[in-house]
Every structure is written in structure tokens, then in C-alpha cells.
Amino acid sequence: MPSLPLPQPDPRLCAALAEDLRAARFHGEDVRAAWGEIADDAIARGLRRPAERALAGRTDPLAVLARLLMLGMPQPAALVDEALPRTTGAGLVALNLAAAVEEGIRPLAVVRPQPFADESGDGGWWVASDLDEAVLGGPLPEDHVLGVGGASMTLAGLQLPTPARRGLDIGTGCGIQALRARRNVGEVVATDTSERALAFTRLNAMLNVVDGIEPRSGSLFEPVRGERFDRIASNPPFVITPRAAGVPAYEYRDGGMAGDDLVAHFVRTVGEHLLPGGVAQLLGNWETRDGAAGLDRVRDWVDASPVPLDAWVVEREVLDPLSYAELWIRDGGTVPGRPEFAGLIDAWLEDFAERGVEHVGFGYILLRRPEAGSPTLARYERIGQSLGGAPLGPHLAAALAAHDRLAGLDDAELEASVLLVAPDVSEARHHLPGAEAPSVIELRQGGGFGRTIEVDPALAALVGACDGDLAVGPLVGAIAELLEVDATALREDLLPRIRELVFTGFLTFA
């Protein structure tokens, strides 16, 4: 499928478009209310007809803009001019977001309202990107610029909410990570190999009146050679794609390397671009090959960095090769029943077989260059349970702060500390029928990663007593006396587990 013209960002027209969208109440909640919950769910699954039916016959600005800019439906020029009185259809054409055709104004891109929430409050952006497969009716062009999807919002929610001076967004795409970073970071360099993506990034920064974003062209760290940053965020083109004839190489997801080499390269080299105390966060895939677990391979990548790094890696999902292949073939707009589908499946499976790939993991990588000294954090874990909708960034920031404080405390100082149970923690006790004592005691976390951990009566008693009154040491002594166990042995058993509960957010320092 041929590529569409590049967007032509223009500050005056972008400002006019933003005013028109605001006046039309072109916001996520208003659009959802216009076409209803069922249609909204259908849109998320690539189905437009329920929304088309819900808006049928309506000529108000919100309905016209929803059809034009979200559903990709041509609209009469007169209705577009009424809906966008400052921009007009001619302005959309000048931005290369639409084309003038016989039936009126035909969209060349989508512009979607994107709500967000962070510690500074609720807000929203308008994000322009390329037409998706539901509009195109077939496979995507290889230079397709993806809009805001689940992975984009995941990484945006992972970004630390603490202030920083200078940031870097690698593989910026439509610019969503750069927009998110600017909420807390003074200036952001946004890089991509795709000139099309950089054009959308410029346009979206103008449309949302966000300054301090500098787009640069190039691969990975090439555009910032010799520079260092406080924050680096990347939703890189990590999708494992066969290097075979006939397999589309989509710029937004394929970095041109074999297997998981791109993520490995990123992890090994990012430390050189971090200032002391700087943090890099990215999403990635990693392969389990010939019995070598994916998380262990990520650990090897971190260890291979010439700059020693703290690391916290979370594996959220694991797929077998067939499921992985089908997921990304469908993502490109090729579905079962199309002649090329089976051939693409074969190409993926052959590629995996050549490297002995058994599974592919997906997750989050957080790397930090220590302020001074050696790394103190090396955490590689699997967290498979579903998470709530709240951003994880505040939880990650709190965990890093807790880790740093704990690293400076010896056991005696920890015993002298006063702790509190986090407000989102609850306890569940499970009894066998007729039994007085519980057979299982669980602590459950409502926020963060939503962890559930099994504890014994001693640790449960300590957590229950952490009300900001007594320090850890006296509490352990009292529990040892209550349970009639040796106090020294109980301290040795509980203190490492208390450290874990503080890091994971079950307990906090008073």
C-alpha cells in the first residue's frame, strides 16, 4: 500500500485546530458519550460500524469530527467548515491531515483525544497518527506511524513522576512518550529513524502547545552521541521479526535486527547516555533460547554494560512462538483467511526454530546509573497478575526511594525505624473447616503491582502492629515473647522480609 503524504506541521494552523477541537468538546469522555459504551468497546477491537450507526444522521460538530478524525470517514466540506470554523477543511488539507475529494474532505490521518492522569492532575492531549487497518481495509504500509495503543500507555504510566532536567525519547513514533515526559522533564530530545514519525511528533507538540521537544532523526543513540540525560524512555521497535523475503518490516515495531538483539543492544549501551542518578525505562521482548530463560539473558545484558547499572526487570507475559507470531501478524492487518497469513506464520516459526526459541517474554526494564559507587539493585521477577488502571510511575519512584533508604540502613538501624502499613494493604486468612488457626495468611496490595504474598503468623503480627507507634525492634521482641520463640532467631528471619515489604510498598517509613 503506498505511503500517504507527510504531515506538514504549521504552528498557526495547529493552534487554530486545537481551538476548534476544544470548542467542539472533542474529548474522550464526550466522544464516548456520543456513541455509547458498546460502540466504544467495538472501536477498541477495530470495529467501526456500531459507532457509525450511533452517529448516523447527526451533523453537530462533535459527530462530524468523530466520523472524520476517528473513524476515517469522508465528510461534506460544508460540515467540516462548520465543525472547524478557524481551521476549515482547507486548513486540514494544508496540514496534510486530509485531502479535498469529490465527496468532500477525506482524512489522511486520525486525530484522537487521549486522556491522561498523573500526580499533577487529569488532562488530555489530541494525538495525530496514521490511518489504521480498520480504515485502510488491509495491511498497513511499512512506514505506518502508530497511534496511542496499550503499550504506549503502559510506558507512559511507568515514567517516573519526579522532576528532571533533560530527557530522551528513543523511537518516539507519534510523540506520546515525549509529551508524557514533558510533564516532569524540562526538555526532551525525541528521536526516530522515520521522518514520518518525526513529522507527527512535531505536529502533536504544536497541537497540544507543548514546547521543549526537539525531534532528531537517527537510529537508537546515534542522534545523541556523546550526550547524557537524566531520563530516557523508549518504546523501541522491539518486535521480533524474521529477516525473510515477503515479511513486512514495519518501522514502528521492527528495528531491523535479528531476534531480541535490539533490546539487548539498548540495555548494553544505555548506561553511557545516563547522567549519575539517571534512569532509563523501556518496554521489550526477550527470548528463552535452548533452556536459557529470558530474564537470565536480560541479566547478562545488564552485566555486559560498561557502565554498572541498577536494574529492575519485570516480566509480565510469556508467549509460545506460534502465539507470538499470530499476535504480530494480526497487528499488521493480516488476518487468518488471507492468502499470505500461513506463509507469514511459517516464516516466524522457522526464524524461531533456527535460534532454538522456546518462549518470548514481554515486560518492563528500569535501569539506573548509580550516583556513586556500585549498583545495589538487581531485581528480575515475573508478575503475571492483572494490574489496575492506575499509572505505575509513582509506585516505581517510591520503591526506588525505599530501596535507597534501606541500602543505607544496617539491621540495627532498621530495628530502630518506625514503619506504617500502607493504606492499600489488606489481609486475608483462610481456615480449614472447624480449625481455629488459619492455614494460610495473605497480604494483598491494592495499588502498585497488586501483589499477594503469603506470610506466617509472626510477619502478619508485625505488619498488623506497624501503626507508627513502636519501632521494628521492640515489635519483634514483643512478637517473639507472644509466640514463645527465640527473639534473635526471629529477628534474623523477619528483617530481610521486612526489607522486601518496604521495597514493594506493603510497609512505609513513618
pLDDT in tens, 311-344: 999 999 999 999 999 999 988 888 888 888 999 9
pLDDT confidence of residue 384: 83
Output the pTM of the full model. 0.93
How do the residues of the chain divide into helix, strand and coil, expressed in percent and rounded to 5?
40, 25, 35
Partners of residue 89 on adjacent β-strands: none
pLDDT tens for each residue of 224-247? 999 999 999 999 988 999 988 889
Q: Above 70 in pLDDT, residue 388? A: no
Rounded to an integer, what distance in angstroms lies between the CA atom of residue 399 and that of residue 118?
17
Grid cell listed for 335: 488476518
Which tens digit of pLDDT belongs to each residue from 59-94? 999 999 999 999 999 999 999 999 999 999 999 999
Q: Which of 107-111, 328-332, 414-418 has the lowest mean pLDDT?
A: 328-332
**Beta strand 467-471 pairing with 418-421:** antiparallel
Residue 64: what are its φ and ψ, rounded to 5°?
Answer: -60, -45
d(CA 207, CA 176): 12
pLDDT at 335: 84
Q: CA dihedral defined by 41, 43, 48, 50, rounded to 10 degrees?
A: 20
Helix (H) or strand (E) run with residue 206 in it: helix 195-207
Average pLDDT over residues 1-11: 84
Q: Does 403-509 carry CATH code 3.90.930?
A: yes
Closest C-alpha among 316, 227, 303, 319 to residue 264: 303
**What is the DSSP pairing of strand 310-319 with strand 378-382?**
parallel
pLDDT band at 1 (very low <50, low <70, confident <90, very high): low
pLDDT at position 138: 75
Q: Is it the case that residue 217 has pLDDT exceeding 90? A: yes
pLDDT, tens digit (0-9, with 9 covering 90-100), for 249-305: 888 888 888 889 999 999 999 999 999 999 999 999 999 999 999 999 999 999 999
Q: How much is the pLDDT for 134?
A: 77
Beta sheet of 213-217, edge-to-edge order: 213-217, 185-192, 164-170, 229-234, 274-289, 357-368, 310-319, 378-382
Q: Give the span between the Cα atoms of 245 and 268, in whole angstroms.
A: 30
The predicted-structure confidence for 168-202, as pLDDT tens digits, reads as follows 999 999 999 999 999 999 999 999 999 999 999 99
